[in-house]
Amino acid sequence: MDILAIDHVEFYVGDARQAAFVLCNAFGFQLCGQGGPETGLAGQRTLLLCHGGSRVMLTSALHPKHPAAEFVARHGDGVGVIAFGSGDVATDYAEAVDGGAVPIEPPRVYGREVATAGAVTMATVSGFGDVAHRLVQRRGHEVEGFLPGAIQPGGTEPEPDMPGLVQAIDHAAVCVPPGELEPTVRYYCDVFGFRPVFEEYIEIGEQGMFSQVVQSPSGGVTFTLIQPDISRRPGQIDDFLSWHDGPGVQHLALSTTDIVGAVRTLSARGVGFAFTPDGYYDTLPGRLGETDIPVGLLREHGILADRDHWGRMYQIFAKSLHVRNTYFWELIERRGARTFGTNNIPALYEAKERELAAVRDTSRAAAR
């Protein structure tokens, strides 16, 4: 199977224009196109946002039986589709279905069907929970926009401080219920040809979670799969599964080549980031040695540092803007690292736990 990279991600949201306002004003995304019934997208309104190589579709239902309406009613706003770039959609679709995926939409061509002209072919199969996977093949040199005929190109010009801020979607983190981690790993290996590349047991106080990372052979698609340890005290993964009502995408990571600059810029636009205690940075030089980014800058902005066999990485979680406190964004800068280190993941989730603990305290106080 020829899975290339994450082509785009589609969020199902209650109000696409409101969601776009937040992503554009806080995270610097730009409106690049839109579609609806007038362009053949029956029962929905979709906005296409772009930031570097990251493409996000925001889809709101115009009919109660549209998949976006059913998704939002159950989960709230969230990721409904993760699309994979494909070298051959017809072949990959057939292989995925043969491997055990449920067919949702057969291959369909958008644009001119002549192989030498611009065209986009898409097909959709099942993923995990209520999240589907769209296979996308882009061919020719005359493709008019993101989805010819269905998404009309056009929107806002990039802001001066935004070009190059982020590049692409680095990975997706997925929360699954107890007992579903191993079956989900097998599903991605059997259906899409992914392979396990990393696993870790994460302890945060009295909480515990199991994590496995699967990756496409191309290295272009990476999923971090997380399952709570029900033998320990319930924690943030249990919270996600409860508040989201089932498995789903907890966060997407946006890659950057300047994480300090990205955090500074987004912070100035009102984005909040998870807090990391000073003690983390006091032990950092002894653990990693000299870092590419001065420890003082990392400390100032709450950025975490780690390494794998190939190099180093720098990461930070943004605070959730979701009404259910489920979905959030991550920033990651890779300097040679291909997978994940053994120290950042616990530290990232400890930072997220401090944020969620404050939310729980506020909720309890309001309930009194």
304-346: pLDDT as tens digits: 999 999 999 999 999 999 999 999 999 999 999 998 988 888 8
Global pTM reads: 0.93
Identify whether the C-beta of residue 31 lies closer than 8 Å to the C-beta of residue 49.
yes
Residues with pLDDT less than 50, the chain: 114-116, 141-143
In order of their start, the domains of the chain are: 3-153 (3.10.180.10), 169-367 (3.10.180.10)
Distance from the Cα of residue 184 to its chain's centroid: 17
If you write DSSP's letter for every residue of 276-299 in order, what string do you get? --HHHHHHHHHHH-S-SS-HHHHH
Helix (H) or strand (E) holding 18: helix 16-27
pLDDT of residue 341: 83
Note whether 83 and 9 are within 8 A (CB). yes
Q: Number of C-alpha atoms within 13 angstroms, CB side, residue 291?
A: 24
Helices (H) and strands (E) in the chain, counts: 9, 17
Per DSSP, helices labelled H in 250-342 are 259-268, 278-288, 295-301
